Amino acid sequence: MDMVQDASSTGARDVFGLDGQIDHKLAFLKKNVPKDTKLVLVGHSIGCYIILEILKRDPSLQVVKAVMLFPTIERMALTPQGKAMTPLLCHLRYMTYLPIFLLSLLPEVLKRSLVNLVLGGLRCRDQSIVQATVGLLSGDCAANAVYMGGQEMRKVLERENLTIEKNLEKLLFYYGATDPWCPVQYYQEMKADFPAGDFRLCERGFRHAFVLDAGRQVAEMVAGWMKADVRT
């Protein structure tokens, strides 16, 4: 696994880092979407941070709405989950590669059995996530995810208040009521700092990783918001 050590020294080569992924999304929009196209962006977790960076780096984009689901846009390393994961992602990263590599050598059927076993406790498990999770057990894919996760702990620090203020009327934030990556305290602080903003706290018990068991419900909820927005 030819992983880079320091993103600041690699520049454009650091395509799997946080900045590289933001640049990738901007390049995709520039290449594939006409300039006058109106855009609705939907982000989850670190995707919300990426959306804010997109709005900051290219204000010319015709973004009319941005839905921020379970947003990890500030102080990630200080959250309950961040405190648990930062040592692993930032200091013990290479120790995770050996078990990932060994898992990647297993036959596909055995990988699927292991994933089913680990996810067996979910009541309403979406079957489509099994194959997606098996795909993550490739060495390169998992290593790149761990690498980017470490960058998130180091780079997602202070909230981008200026960008939020400039785009407040476009933004809808949806916070989890028991989200270890984004405590309710962050939701309360956002409401206090931006009283005119659209900040919602989950009342349906969705977890941060809602795709595991509530992807359809969240999709229907977001679609309902968009329809209501069009009517108004």
CA distances from 70 to 48, 87, 91, 207 (A): 8, 23, 26, 9
Indicate which residue of 44, 128, 208, 213 is catalytic. Answer: 208
Indicate which residue of 91, 104, 140, 179 is catalytic. Answer: 179
Is domain 39-75+157-232 given the CATH code 3.40.50.1820 in the classification?
A: yes
Distance CA 127, CA 189 (A): 37
101-129 per-position pLDDT tens digit = 888 888 888 888 888 888 776 766 667 78
pTM of the model: 0.87
Is there a catalytic annotation at residue 208?
A: yes
Per domain, the residue ranges of the chain are 39-75+157-232, 76-155
Q: What average pLDDT does this structure show over 84-100? A: 84
Report the chain's mean pLDDT, rounded to a whole number. 88
Is there a catalytic annotation at residue 45?
A: yes
* CA-based torsion, 66, 219, 143, 120: positive or negative: positive
88-92, 106-110, 122-126, 147-151: which is most confident:
147-151
> 3-state DSSP call for residue 201?
strand
How many C-beta atoms surround the C-beta of residue 76 within 10 A?
24
Q: Quote the tokens at residue 64.
A: 């009319």
Confidence of residue 2 (pLDDT cuts 50, 70, 90): very low
The strand pair at 38-44 and 198-201 is best described as unpaired
Look-up of token digits 């194959």: 131
Distance CA 176, CA 21 (A): 25
How many C-beta atoms surround the C-beta of residue 186 within 10 A?
21
Q: Which helix (H) or strand (E) holds 43?
A: strand 38-44
Indicate which residue of 19, 44, 45, 229 is catalytic. Answer: 45
For residue 209, give the nearest of 182, 170, 172, 169 by alpha carbon. 182
